[in-house]
Amino acid sequence: MESETILDDRTQDRAAYRARQAEHQVWLLNQKRQKWKIRFLQIALLTGALALWELAAQLGWIDTFLFSSPSAVVKIFWNYFSGGSIWEHIGITMWETFAGFCIGTVCGIGIAILLWWYPMLPKVLDPFLVVMNALPKTALAPIVIVWFGAGMSGIIAVAVSISIVVTILSAYSDFKSVDADKIRMLKSFGATKRQVLFKLILPANREKLLGIAKINMGLCLIGVIVGEFLVSRCGIGYLIVYGSQVFRLDLVMMGVVLLAICAGVMNGAINLLEQYMKKF
């Protein structure tokens, strides 16, 4: 009797396990369907907006001199693409953004670590950081360019100036939000400040730091475009300014579309890095 009871329990356990496994497979399938549904709606929304824009331009609902049209944007893009110059403009803007992003993010997180390491430092620098964060960085771009030169170095400096203060304040706030009881527990076991930083503070804020990186990428792209508006002779920002000066709205809209694509590519790269980091 006891052996039969054990066999019955095992059979029930196996049946319950199979049921849970089947429910999990159904849940995964629903999640996949939901993901594809969202992608389909996004593509449909974008396609519909472009189709409506083209239709309005063809039927004369909008002034194509002011608003251009998707077909005109595609035509001028093909002209730049066939000439090969489009890659130079995209490459320079992407490189300046990447350089500004790396410098601003690394230096910003490094300064935030110093603020966490030395408790007196944030008390001294707090009003200065708040004022620097409130200053309109784009209005200060001409000064930054004069300081660092009217070239790629000045444009990168503008990107860094826009992103670094936000990085410092956000990262330092995240470092302070770590549970104080965990810090005291590590110290009670004899952990040094360095060990607390690398074993608790940074790992606990890994996802938040990746979130800061996403914000920084957008801020650096803004800084680069502002710098290119002012001094560049190449880049997507230059194309937009040149198009507005000669009243070529198709060129301006092409630059805007290229900016959107570049921003999407860089955000996708950070998302891939985030997924890779989650494995560890």
On whether the CB atoms of residues 218 and 263 are closer than 8 A, the answer is yes
pLDDT band at residue 11 under the 50/70/90 scheme: low
In the chain, what are the helix, strand and coil shares in percent, each to the nearest 5?
90, 0, 10
| Total number of domains constituting the chain | 2
Q: Are residues 101 and 228 in the same domain?
A: yes
pLDDT band at residue 110 under the 50/70/90 scheme: very high
Q: Which residue is associated with the tokens 């304040």?
A: 169
Spatial CB neighbours of 197, under 8 Å, sequence gap ≥ 6: 113, 116, 117
Q: Are residues 170 and 148 in the same domain?
A: yes
Pick the last residue of a domain from 62, 84, 107: 62
For position 94, what pLDDT does the model report?
92
- Looking at the chain, the whole-number percentage of residues with pLDDT higher than 90 is 16
- CB neighbour burial string for 188-226, b if at least 16 within 10 angstroms, e if fewer: eeeeeeeebbeebbbeebeeebeebbeebbbbbbbbbbb
How many angstroms separate the CA atoms of 123 and 99, rounded? 31
For position 3, what pLDDT does the model report?
55
Higher pLDDT, 137 or 181: 181
Answer yes or no: is pLDDT of 133 > 60: yes
Q: Which residue is associated with the tokens 């005109």?
A: 72
On whether the CB atoms of residues 107 and 160 are closer than 8 A, the answer is yes
Pick the last residue of a domain from 44, 62, 80: 62
Pick the last residue of a domain from 10, 44, 62: 62
At 65 the three-state DSSP class reads helix
pLDDT band at residue 168 under the 50/70/90 scheme: very high
Q: Are residues 7 and 101 in the same domain?
A: no
Q: Are residues 78 and 101 in the same domain?
A: yes
Q: Are residues 206 and 270 in the same domain?
A: yes
How many angstroms separate the CA atoms of 244 and 98, rounded? 26
Q: What is the pLDDT of residues 29-58, one digit of tens each?
A: 888 888 888 888 989 998 999 899 889 888
Q: Which residue is associated with the tokens 């936000």?
A: 166
Q: Are residues 79 and 23 in the same domain?
A: no
For position 12, what pLDDT does the model report?
61
Q: Are residues 19 and 150 in the same domain?
A: no
Total length of the chain: 280
Task: Compute and round to an integer the Cα radius of gyration of the chain.
Answer: 26
For position 14, what pLDDT does the model report?
67
Q: Which residue is associated with the tokens 């040094």?
A: 192
Q: Are residues 20 and 46 in the same domain?
A: yes
Nearest to 106 by CA among 157, 167, 153: 167
Q: Are residues 99 and 114 in the same domain?
A: yes
Q: Are residues 82 and 58 in the same domain?
A: no
Q: Are residues 151 and 252 in the same domain?
A: yes
Q: Are residues 41 and 114 in the same domain?
A: no
The domain in which residue 143 lies consists of 69-277
Q: What is the CATH number of the domain that holds 183?
A: 1.10.3720.10
What pTM value is reported for the model?
0.80
